[in-house]
Chains A and B, each alone.
Chain A
Amino acid sequence: MSVPSENLPPDPMPTVPRPEATPRVLLVEDDGKIAQEVIEELESRHFVVQHEFSGAAGLSIGLNAHFDVMIVDRMLPELDGLTLIETLRERQVHVPVLVLSALSAVDDRVSGLKAGGDDYLTKPFAMEELAARLEALLRRPDTSRHTMLRAGPLEMDLITRTVRRDGELIELLPREFRLLEYLMRRPNQVLTRNMLLEDVWNYRFIPQTNLVDVHIGKLRRKIDETGRPPLIQSIRGAGFMLRVS
């Protein structure tokens, strides 16, 4: 799988992004303070953010201008977030939408996704999580039926269920294979613990223990044996990344 270099995570030093690498984000959020934080964070990551306070304004802008991704709060004045998304989908606007909400119940998440949202993030959230999910939405994994995945020195054969690093076979347990497949489909993307729990294991609870870290640790010991440059990296306060050049 090829890796689009323009979507690499931001450098620690902010640089002026190239025009084609600048994703446009429409943020529809009525809480000014949260919106300000989100805007500053996203702008520091070279996103161009347009902010609207009400659902009605968000809908009118969303229908008439092109955005790469939208962030929509569920509870909005004039027009609620879910109706906004439903109307967009009815009018054939297929921009990926991240639903933002204080409602965290599974039923609320399901209704958010059913309305046409592509991902759901509950408040309070870490900025890293928001950014990671936005990047994941911007770069939908290649779900085409490739039987071979490639990321840097790693090669995964989905038919024979084998993994090789620089041609050398690595023995993985089924759960490690599943985790690595998820990482390899999203190279150079920050993947939060919640994303891994939700997408790899399909669980929606917050474990009290460092479950995900332990799984990643096990996988890392097999993939990044001593002497080789580490591929799986921990991103402090955020999650993990399969960094390949």
Chain B
Amino acid sequence: MFRNELFRTATFRLTLAVVAAMIGSAALQFFFGYSQANVFEAKRSDTLLLREASILQHETPEALEQQVRDRATDDLRIIMNATTLFDAGQHYIVGDLHSWPTGLVADGRVHVIAPEATGGSSVTVLRMVAVSVPGGRYLVLGRSRQMRTELRLMMRHSMLVSIVPTVLFALITGIILSHRALSRVKVMHEAIDRIMEGDLHERLPAGRQNDDLQRLAGSVNRMLDRLEQLLDEIRDVGNDIAHDLRTPLARVRARLDRALNADHSAEALRNVIARTIDDLDQSFAIITALLRIGEIENGRRRAGFGTVDLGALVADIVDLYEPIAETKGIILACAAREAPIRVQGDRDLLIEVLANLVDNAIKFTPGGGRVEIHTAMNGECALLQVIDTGIGIPAAERKAVTGRFYRSDKSRHIPGSGLGLSLVSAIVALHHAQLDITPTRVHERRPGVTMTIIFPPFCVVQAGN
């Protein structure tokens, strides 16, 4: 089983491919080497044959005959394998060949002659030259292909000798590497199986190697961390929704129950119904806000993006909230700025953010307090600030307030769903901006809160664009 898996690993397959490539390249190398040697040998043979023929042509007939006779036994036979003298009728006189090779023409050029054409000689002559010599005779010189055959044999042998151990070495290395990779993948498979069985805390083994498999394991582990965090959040949100909806629904039920069992006047019943509708509206408001947060977090709302002037946005919000601030005895002010600050964003959503922040600021600022809205540039970042002198948010709670349904103990008596800042942070995130919550330092007794939305440089639309 494991052996079968081994042969199916990518590493082993890669090894096989490399081995095949090695064999192929070695074969090509030897083939071209042999071809070159072959051509070289043929040229060398021709030169030798022609030079020898030219020397012997100048000998006297007697001396030539003697030389041919001597050559049948001397060392030169190794180089010049066949030397034979024929008469004018191409009949054998003396030498190695006993008959005129078929197809050989006495034209002083080298011819390639098949072995059977030499008349059953023991010597396999392939390259031959026939020249006429003094006395009306012909001298035939031949050189065998022996050298070439030997060269071929030698090259084939050396190829086999070098290829076999190289291939074996590559194969063994491939098997070892595949085996190691397979062992790590097997451990990962086991971990994934445990995760799929429901153990969400399980992670892929973290090794020390910084290879691609390890980096992949790292990415998968980070993905699992995020998934686990999201699942936890979903679970928490589910519990929060259930809890926050149960409260108004329980009130509705209790009120209707009482109305059913008591003998109420029509006016009292109308009153009960009106209060019941208020509670149901609160439940719907929670559901609507959750749906909006979900929708914005899914990032589907980028269609409405365009250039938004923050100054105009602030002016609109001040216009909308001034009367309510006045009613509560709060000063709502905005700092006018000459150069407009423009950002890429969705006007409706940014209005909602600002409305939520100003709504909160007014809600949590006692009479006589002050709420200010600022727009500013900080380096290349655009800032949108809502500063109040209200009850403030303790340092420990500053991060938690943007979570869903979070309500500070200090704000429990003030109506609200606890979803306003979640919505704000979802919209801010959609704009790639950042929400900073810091204490306001303008007032000694009332710390207040400064909510700052920081738009990164790439969201800021430069003047003239």
Question: Is B292 an interface position by the 8 A CB rule?
Answer: yes
**Which of B144-152, B182-190, B198-206, B296-304 interfaces with chain A?**
B296-304
In this complex, the interface size class of chain B, counting residues with CB under 8 Å from chain A, is 20 to 34
Once A107-B300, A203-B351, A237-B274 are accepted as A-B contacts, the answer to whether A208 and B319 lie under 8 Å apart by CB is no
Assess the A208–B321 pair: CB atoms within 8 A.
no
Q: Say yes or no: is B131 at the interface (Cβ < 8 Å to chain A).
A: no
The 8 A CB mask of B323-351 against A (1 = contact, 0 = none) is 11001000000000000000000001001
Q: B285 contacts which of A106, A206, A236 (Cβ < 8 Å)?
A: A206
* Residue pair A201, B359 in contact (C-beta under 8 Å): no
Closest to B324 in A: A214
Complex-state Cα separation, A124 to B316, whole angstroms:
29
Residue pair B416, A214 in contact (C-beta under 8 Å): no
User: Which residue on chain B has the smallest CB distance to residue A218?
Assistant: B323
In the complex, what's the smallest C-beta–C-beta distance from B28 to chain A, in angstroms? Answer: 64
Inter-chain CA distance A105–B292, complex, in Å, is 7
A209 is an interface residue with CB less than 8 A from chain B: yes
Chain A residue with Cβ nearest B322? A175
Asked if B324 and A211 make an inter-chain contact with CB atoms under 8 angstroms apart, the answer reads: yes
CA distance A124 to B286 in the complex (A): 12
Q: How far is the CA of A201 from the CA of B292 in the complex (A)?
A: 21
> What residues of chain A lie closer than 8 Å to B303, measured between beta carbons?
107
Residues A201 and B320 in contact, CB atoms below 8 Å apart: yes
A208-B359, A209-B362 known; A104 and B288 CB under 8 Å? yes
For the complex formed, measure the closest distance between the CB of B353 and the CB atoms of chain A, giving whole angstroms: 9
Partner of B359, one of A174, A175, A204, A207: A207
Decide yes or no: A105 and B295 within 8 Å by CB, A175-B319, A211-B321, A215-B323 being known contacts. Answer: yes
Can you list 15 A-B contacts with CB-CB less than 8 angstroms, sorted by A residue number? A107-B300, A107-B303, A107-B304, A124-B284, A174-B319, A175-B319, A203-B348, A205-B356, A208-B360, A208-B363, A209-B324, A210-B324, A214-B324, A214-B327, A236-B274
The 5 closest A-B pairs by CB, nearest first: A205-B352, A214-B324, A214-B323, A218-B323, A105-B295
Are A203 and B300 in contact (CB-based, < 8 A)?
Answer: no
Q: State A134–B140 Cα separation when bound (angstroms).
A: 122
Return chain B residues, CB-CB under 8 Å to A104: 288, 291-292
Given contacts A205-B355, A208-B420, contact A106 B321 (CB under 8 A): no
**What are the interface flags for B268-307 relative to A under an 8 Å C-beta threshold, 1 for contact and 0 otherwise?**
0000001001001000110010011001000011011000
> Measured between C-beta atoms, what is the minimum distance from B64 to chain A in Å?
110
| Residue in A closest to B325 when the chains form the complex, CB atoms | A214
Instruction: Tell me how far the C-beta of A164 lies from the nearest C-beta in chain B, rounded to whole angstroms.
Output: 23
> Which residues in B have their C-beta under 8 angstroms from that of A107?
300-301, 303-304
Task: Give 17 new A-B contacts, CB below 8 A, not counting A203-B355, A236-B274.
Answer: A105-B291, A105-B292, A122-B288, A126-B277, A201-B316, A203-B351, A204-B348, A205-B352, A206-B285, A207-B355, A209-B363, A211-B320, A211-B324, A214-B323, A215-B323, A217-B323, A237-B274
How close is B124's CB to chain A, nearest CB, in angstroms?
A: 91
- Residues 203-238 of A at the B interface (beta carbon under 8 Å): 203-211, 214-215, 217-218, 236-237
B277 CB contacts on chain A under 8 angstroms: 126, 237
How far does the alpha carbon of A215 sit from the alpha carbon of B319 in the complex, in Å?
10
Q: Does B464 contact A (CB under 8 A)?
A: no
A residues 171-187 touching B (CB-CB < 8 Å): 174-175
CB distance from B288 to the nearest CB of A (A): 6
| Chain B residues positioned under 8 Å from A236 (CB to CB) | 274
Q: Does B368 contact A (CB under 8 A)?
A: no
Decide yes or no whether B165 CB sits under 8 A from chain A.
Answer: no
Q: Does any Cβ of A come within 8 Å of B89's Cβ?
A: no
Q: Contacts of B416 on A, CB cut-off 8 Å?
A: 208
Distance to closest chain B CB from A113 (angstroms): 14
Contact partners of A205 in chain B: CB under 8 A:
348, 351-352, 355-356
Q: Which residue of B lies closest to A122 (CB)?
A: B288
Q: Is B135 an interface residue (CB 8 A)?
A: no
Q: Does B136 contact A (CB under 8 A)?
A: no
Flag whether B415 is at the interface (Cβ < 8 A).
Answer: yes
With both chains docked as a complex, state the minimum distance between the C-beta of B276 and any C-beta of chain A, in angstroms: 11
- Please tell me if the beta carbons of A106 and B351 are within 8 angstroms of each other in the complex: no
Residues of chain A within 8 A (CB-CB) of B288 are 104, 122, 206
List of A residues within 8 angstroms of B274 by Cβ: 236-237
| Residue pair B301, A106 in contact (C-beta under 8 Å) | yes
In chain A, positions 103-160 with a C-beta closer than 8 Å to chain B are 104-107, 122, 124, 126
Q: How far, in Å, is A173 (CB) from chain B's closest CB? A: 9
C-alpha spacing A209/B327, complex, angstroms: 12
Give A13 Cβ to nearest chain B Cβ, in Å: 15
The CA-CA distance from A211 to B291 in the complex, in Å, is: 23
B283 to chain A: closest residue by CB: A124
- Shortest CB-to-CB span from A61 to chain B, Å, is 31
Q: Are B320 and A203 interface neighbours, CB within 8 A?
A: yes
B110-130 contacts to A (CB < 8 Å): none
Measured in the bound complex, the distance between the Cα atoms of B319 and A205 in whole Å is: 16
Query: B233 CB to closest chain A CB, in angstroms?
Result: 21
Contact with A along B5-42 (1 / 0, CB 8 A): 00000000000000000000000000000000000000
Asked whether, in the complex, the Cβ of A209 is within 8 Å of the Cβ of B359, the reply is yes
Provide the residues of chain B in CB contact with A217, threshold 8 Å: 323, 327
List, in ascending order, chain A residues with CB within 8 A of B319's CB.
174-175
Q: A205-B351, A209-B324 are in contact. Are A106 and B284 (CB under 8 A)?
A: no
Q: Is the CB of B348 within 8 A of A106?
A: yes
